[in-house]
A and B are shown apart, each in its own frame.
Chain A
Amino acid sequence: MDMHLTLENFTKCIEDIVKISDLLMDGWILKEKQGVENGKYIVKRCTTQLTKPDDKDIKVLVTFEYHIAYQLSYGVPVICFKVWKHDGLLFSLEEYWEFNQDLKEHNMYDTLTQLDHPVLCQPFLTLHPCRTQEIIQPFLENSKNPVISWLSVVGLFVHLNLLEEYLKNC
């Protein structure tokens, strides 16, 4: 029998992430949309420099806004994000691909794609949730916080690095 991360468990996990983040001042914020079953999600903004993999001289300073929400149909957490350049314009999917070699070799439209935010129903760049169950499955029994464990695996693909403090709690 497949084990799933339940919505209750997911909510507890993200609330714990926010607690750790508050101690570290790492910036994760809990948000909630009223009247929606899976309404709770967390958000973090951070600024980072991206380098083009095939031309190390091309660098660009960008701001990421990450959202972690619960995808009801797949029964898994989802990480989605927006990327702004400092002229205020959003990165398109293609522009983001240019700066991300890790995704280049896969079928990109299947891996990182534009999808609706599971709560806000607005377009976000999203790591497609169809493989998440495979990744998170082993953590469901062994991790105190499967969401952190899963993020430690997939975060790299989207330039999200977790501080060690989080990993001590999973």
Chain B
Amino acid sequence: MANDREILREIWEGKLPVCFKLDSDEVTDFREPDPFYLMVPRLSYFPLVTDKVRKHFLKYVANDKQEQEMWLEYNGQPLKWHYPIGVLYDLLFGPEDVLPWNLTIHFEKFPETEIYKFSNKEMVESYFMACLKEADVLKHRGQVANKFDQFWSVNRKLMEVSAEHEHFKYIPFRCYIDDGYRQKLVKPLTSDGRKKNTARFDKRDVPWQKY
């Protein structure tokens, strides 16, 4: 793990240029608000980076809408804020699209059947911890921040195999396909007993093909 430190740091520091615009139907001020530009980390979540965006657009929407939860849309699809930003970008950004990534801001008609409400940061943390817990159950049978070094001092422990078991129980992974994602129990060993990682996944491990 430690040998790849340079690559891990590159991935950690990956950022995307995003241009946020308020949906023109929701503007009640006589002035059109300026778009808001931001470099956002790929390895983060939108609710953690959009405080300033919300503040910027708030004064242009109707008073009674200001208390409502803000949500983001790209090409008619609400962004699932509980997916990492980089995953959303890879899923939704088409080959013809150009950067910066143009996202539309909404305060009205929150699509509550499709995306989570996030009334506070604890909600984001709670979702993230639930994912972490699930991964830990898959790896260790459940026995066991935002600065790179702090993250790895914790993550190293999560990535260790326990003393009694030579390998993780299963490899925790998700395949984000279409509107949702798929998961499967895959052991970190091949049938002939060699170590397996996601690079060695075959069709049986990930049988969901995208057409």
Contact = CB atoms under 8 A, between A and B. Distances in A.
Interface of A: 2, 35-37, 72-74, 90, 92-94, 109-110, 113-116, 120-123, 128, 130
A122 B117 contact: no
Given A90-B112, A113-B126, 14 more contacts: A37-B184, A72-B183, A73-B134, A73-B170, A109-B123, A109-B126, A114-B116, A114-B123, A115-B130, A116-B82, A120-B180, A122-B113, A123-B117, A130-B133
B179 A121 contact: yes
Interface residues of B, number: 30
B91 interface: no
B51 interface: no
Given A36-B182, A121-B180, A121-B181, A92 B126 contact: no
A72 B117 contact: no
Contacts of A116: 82, 180
Interface of B: 82, 112-117, 119, 122-123, 125-127, 130, 133-134, 137-138, 141-142, 170, 172, 179-185, 208
Q: Tell me what chain B mostly uses at the interface: helix, strand, loop, or mixed.
A: loop
Contacts of A94: 119
Contacts of B170: 73
Nearest to B179: A121
**Which of A73, A110, A120 has the most chain B CB within a 10 Å cutoff?**
A73
Contacts of A93: 117, 123
A2 B116 CA distance: 34
Contacts of B138: 73
A73 B126 contact: no
B158 to A, nearest CB: 15
A74 B134 contact: yes
Nearest to A35: B208
B36 to A, nearest CB: 26
Given A121-B181, A122-B113, A128 B130 contact: yes
Given A109-B126, A113-B130, A73 B117 contact: no
A122 B115 CA distance: 7
Contacts of A35: 208
